[in-house]
Amino acid sequence: MSDVELFLVLIAALFIYESVVTLPKDALALRRGAFGWRYVEPLVLRAGAGPAVVLAMLVPPLGLVVSGRRGGRLARAEAAVRVQALVRATRSLRVAASVLWLGLVAGAGWLAFGSAEHETLALVSLGALWVLAVLAGLEARRRLVAAGSLVRTVAPPSWRDTIVALLSPISILRLHDLYTKRALEDLDVLAIAAAVLPVERVRPLLREALARAVHGVETVRERAELEALAVELGIAPGELLAAPEREGAHAHAYCPVCLAQYMGEGEGAQSVCESCGGVALLRF
């Protein structure tokens, strides 16, 4: 492997590293990609201690990562306003970062296979794109500060963290995630999900939360709050607690929280779901 090829591998590894978003251990994340928002279950690095991590959208870096926490405020309307504020404030930065990313990919080819003239042109072009990304990053921060007074978003990261990101053409590709990943952490992830996801994608999240509240499994939400959110979304709370479709004639019971089904009957049959902390199984 040549020195240039090794350099390109290191750049790619650094970009993937910068794309790993760290979150508090109790946070849950939503990631915005090319086809809209989706819920992402973070990976907790140390059980019971955190932090949690989630991989941002890699190609191109146009996406956005936001997180909420269990037990935050169930303010769906406010979540919708604040998410839109974050999307608008970071739009120019995300576009500039994507253009810079394309420039880095093209420039890598020139540096690896081009002549000395191509190398000079590539470096000058990348420098210009980097400057544009820096300006877009500063403008995004200004917009976030302005929006914060209107929608009560959490203040952007410190100037120190911002400047460190601006000084690297790789780090700046993920600056928008640094700005937004904890901007909504006072809200419950259900409120954010209900604001940006289709109802059918919110349903399983709401069903699990409601089942945990009903059966007292590590719940941080009152049952009435969750039922009110379900009604607001046009979902009958009773539908969320309905039994799953039976997988076979031998399935005799199911866990109302995780919906795992259990086979067999009689004296030795399992009566509780150990995965959910001993929740009593319900018969079909």
pTM: 0.81
Q: Is the dihedral of CA 183, 184, 189, 190 positive or negative?
A: negative
- Of 61-75, 95-109, 140-154, the one with minimum mean pLDDT is 140-154
Has residue 56 got a pLDDT over 70?
A: yes
The predicted pLDDT at position 158 comes to: 78
User: Given phi > 0 = left and psi -120 to 50 = alpha, else beta, which region is 234?
Assistant: left
Has residue 92 got a pLDDT over 90?
A: yes
Q: Is the dihedral of CA 243, 246, 252, 257 positive or negative?
A: negative
Has residue 135 got a pLDDT over 90?
A: yes
Mean pLDDT of the 133-137 span: 93
Strand order in the sheet with 27-33: 36-40, 27-33, 64-69
Q: Is the dihedral of CA 67, 83, 174, 157 positive or negative?
A: negative
Write the DSSP assignment of 49-74 as a string of letters: T--EEEEPP-SSTT-EEEEEETT-B-
Over residues 253-263, the pLDDT tens digits come to: 899 998 989 88
Instruction: Decide the pairing of beta strands 251-254 and 261-263.
Output: antiparallel
How does residue 270 score in pLDDT terms, banded at 50, 70 and 90? confident
Sequence-distant (6+) residues with CB within 8 A of 120 are none
- Of 36-45, 78-87, 124-133, 195-204, the one with minimum mean pLDDT is 36-45
CA neighbor of 225 nearest in space, from 197, 198, 259, 188: 188
The predicted pLDDT at position 195 comes to: 93
The predicted pLDDT at position 107 comes to: 73
The predicted pLDDT at position 116 comes to: 63
Q: Where are the domains of the chain?
A: 3-189, 198-240, 251-283
Over residues 181-231, the pLDDT tens digits come to: 888 888 998 999 999 999 999 999 999 899 988 888 766 788 899 999 999
Q: Is the dihedral of CA 216, 222, 228, 233 positive or negative?
A: negative
d(CA 171, CA 175): 7
Has residue 267 got a pLDDT over 60?
A: no
Has residue 268 got a pLDDT over 60?
A: no
The predicted pLDDT at position 151 comes to: 55
Please give the C-alpha separations between residue 128 and each of 10, 106, 132, 255, in angstroms, as whole numbers.
22, 14, 6, 58
d(CA 67, CA 86): 12
Mean pLDDT rounded to a whole number for the chain: 83
Are 256 and 278 contacting, i.e. CB atoms less than 8 angstroms apart? no
